[in-house]
Structure 1
């Protein structure tokens, strides 16, 4: 009988095994590589756009300056602008931005900011369209500085900026009632004060004057993008009726957000009536539980916003005076009007300047 053949299994050479391992490792690392390259590309694109924007704004600044200087020396008034617009459009066909109306805007742009050394550098940090919006719709130097700084810091789009101006974010930020000066570090105080406004406008809601807290909460969640935009655009949604368990008992926060710049959880309690002092004690409890159970090591202390339909400013001031957790008390409206009696309560120009310089 012929001897049966013995089959043997070939063992892969060590070099082959090593090559397979390298390929596997490379495949596993590729998503990280791709993400890193894309981030670098985006960074370069942003830097290039920023450089182009600075050059464009600088060009318009110089054109405005030259018009002002020529009018001062020759006194030709409107004639020089009309002639300049016609010649520029003829010499640069297809290039926008050189109409007579735009040249007048450049002139006004230079005249508005040239005498303000503090603001002149800021205008180059935002786009020309942002500058025009701020120039045409803001009434004084401090208001313009506020929107310039906030646009630069938070990267507001033109639509978000327009929304913030419509909703009087400048006035409502300055009027905000918080205890942040006593409860937050100097590095966080100013930024937190600007993140929590005195009044929020939810004009996108289809709610009548009579509604429950639950109806308000559901309506806000149903329009979550509009809600986050109304809050300031730097918030992320973490949940509604956010559950906390303390000593075997359940507690629920109406809305929980996260502020990306502050790197802090923000608990929101919705109240359809007038502010009551006991609301502060409940919010302090929620913030203590969030800090102990939810807050990550690299995050800042949690912040609370008590959002009421009405409030008496003196009662809020007393209620917050000795509170140890950072809390703001605000009202909500479904219209865009700031009460006239509050217009005279804005801080002094010196106080406004100190706040804006910290942005």
Structure 2
């Protein structure tokens, strides 16, 4: 075999190995995801089983303590069945009866392209729904005779009896499919406990679950977003922008959906009365937290991006790129409340970025003005007449980064090293 043929064979073999390795890694991810979903389904069934027998026999809450003790005695090698965890399993089952999971799936289908209005409508619809608790009799396939509903069953079990009959017709496999298809099966148990501890209405629980899956949040990040009331900041608060008049309908809806008001940035080491440059410097140092707050699919492009226009030099505070919007985002930071002239300055930078950076496959550049407060009426008047898309939001500075989240973030040195390549490219294009 010639050297040329040998090199070709090695190239083919290397590609083959890479393909096999990729499949192994993907299989590991699939196995982990599948194992998590099956564990959640198991916990949901256990919770339903406990709730059913509590009501059927009037055992009360003490049964959980006794059950935890019995499991330790008979199955000492099994973990995850403490009194606390069994209590959470009951809460889990009670919070998400079967018909609630079916409603989640239906809501998923109607929100294939989310907008402020559609999300609000669906969340409120879920919040208003009342579900009769469907207990473990729904899902027990081990011993049907022990779960049969007879004429002696009290009146309050009539609905459960109807459900039991339907479930036996439906079958445990079909129930499992409903559970695994719903968003409830796609986040981990710690995140589920976080949502349960927050006592959210059903619609909000659904929304935070969906966001957690889409954004890849850890349970710590999920708790931060719930504590900071992300739903209100992104969905229910009135937001000031001119997107509907400056962007085509699909993009304007998505841009409005992604915009938050206020933004909350967790910045350790920021001065109490920070100026724009100090805030900007801290945002870059904590770029991971910053992009987390901006939302899914935002990439950092540059800080203090230099543009020469005519004989003058200009520096845009921050430039991001939004993958969902396929557009550059120019961010201007102001350490003072909104003033109408700020919109003019941002409009100028949008024009420059459109001319200097925007490619033929990029959508219209969007401007985001972050201020320390605003008069919404003044801000809305200030946007009238501009052809460029601009959003105006408040921002708040918080130094309350949980210790357990800090450990998951890269160090400032690592972030600065990562950003150095961006800054060097800016200086030496």
Tell me the TM-score range normalised by the shorter chain. 0.7 to 0.9
Which whole-Å CA distance do the structure 2 matches of 1:90 and 1:299 have between them? 63
Tell me what 2:71 maps to: 88
Q: Which moved more, 1:328-337 or 1:43-52?
A: 328-337
Tell me what 2:41 maps to: 58
Which whole-Å CA distance do the structure 1 matches of 2:199 and 2:315 have between them? 41
Which whole-Å CA distance do the structure 1 matches of 2:380 and 2:202 have between them? 29
The alpha carbon displacement at 1:46 in A equals 2.1
Which whole-Å CA distance do the structure 2 matches of 1:308 and 1:274 have between them? 5
Quick check: 2:267–2:399 contact (8 Å CA) kept in 1? no
For residues 163-312 of structure 1, the aligned pairs below 5 Å read 163-174=224-235, 175=237, 176-232=239-295, 234-247=297-310, 249-312=312-375
The alpha carbon displacement at 1:100 in A equals 1.6
Which whole-Å CA distance do the structure 1 matches of 2:91 and 2:266 have between them? 33
Quick check: 1:277–1:316 contact (8 Å CA) kept in 2? yes
Quick check: 2:305–2:318 contact (8 Å CA) kept in 1? yes
Q: TM-score, normalised by structure 1?
A: 0.78
Q: TM-score, normalised by structure 2?
A: 0.66
Tell me what 1:68 maps to: 51
Sort the Cα spacing of 1:171 and 1:67 in 2 relative to 1 into closer, same or farther, 3 A: same
Quick check: 1:201–1:336 contact (8 Å CA) kept in 2? no
Tell me what 2:166 maps to: none
Pick the aligned partner of 1:145 from 199, 206, 226.
206
Which whole-Å CA distance do the structure 2 matches of 1:157 and 1:146 have between them? 15
Which whole-Å CA distance do the structure 1 matches of 2:68 and 2:96 have between them? 22
Which whole-Å CA distance do the structure 2 matches of 1:101 and 1:82 have between them? 9
Tell me what 1:350 maps to: none
Quick check: 2:343–2:382 contact (8 Å CA) kept in 1? yes
Sort the Cα spacing of 1:122 and 1:68 in 2 relative to 1 into closer, same or farther, 3 A: same
The alpha carbon displacement at 1:194 in A equals 4.2
Pick the aligned partner of 1:118 from 103, 107, 114.
103
Can you give the 5+ residue segments of structure 1 that lack an aligned partner in the other structure? Answer: 1-15, 338-359
Sort the Cα spacing of 1:330 and 1:67 in 2 relative to 1 into closer, same or farther, 3 A: same
Q: Which moved more, 1:224-233 or 1:167-176?
A: 224-233
Which whole-Å CA distance do the structure 1 matches of 2:90 and 2:217 have between them? 25
The alpha carbon displacement at 1:272 in A equals 0.9
Sort the Cα spacing of 1:322 and 1:260 in 2 relative to 1 into closer, same or farther, 3 A: same
Can you give the 5+ residue segments of structure 2 that lack an aligned partner in the other structure? Answer: 105-178, 401-429
Tell me what 1:42 maps to: 25
Which whole-Å CA distance do the structure 1 matches of 2:9 and 2:361 have between them? 31
Greater relative contact order (Cα 8 A, min sep 6): structure 1 or 2? 1
Quick check: 2:268–2:399 contact (8 Å CA) kept in 1? no
Task: Give the root-mean-square deviation of aligned CA atoms.
Answer: 2.9
Quick check: 1:307–1:330 contact (8 Å CA) kept in 2? yes
Alignment: residue pair count: 320
The alpha carbon displacement at 1:151 in A equals 0.8
Sort the Cα spacing of 1:92 and 1:27 in 2 relative to 1 into closer, same or farther, 3 A: same
Which whole-Å CA distance do the structure 1 matches of 2:75 and 2:334 have between them? 59
Pick the aligned partner of 1:130 from 191, 194, 202.
191
The alpha carbon displacement at 1:254 in A equals 0.3
Quick check: 2:262–2:395 contact (8 Å CA) kept in 1? yes
The alpha carbon displacement at 1:67 in A equals 1.6
Quick check: 1:177–1:329 contact (8 Å CA) kept in 2? yes
The alpha carbon displacement at 1:71 in A equals 1.8
Sort the Cα spacing of 1:66 and 1:231 in 2 relative to 1 into closer, same or farther, 3 A: same
> For 1:236-274, what per-residue CA distance to the aligned partner results, in whole angstroms no more than 9, with x for missing partners?
221111123445643321011223444432211011111
Which structure's CA Rg is the greater one?
Answer: 1
Tell me what 1:108 maps to: 91
Which whole-Å CA distance do the structure 2 matches of 1:305 and 1:229 have between them? 16
Sort the Cα spacing of 1:267 and 1:28 in 2 relative to 1 into closer, same or farther, 3 A: farther
> For 1:38-84, what per-residue CA distance to the aligned partner results, in whole angstroms no more than 9, with x for missing partners?
44333322222221121111111111111222122112111322232
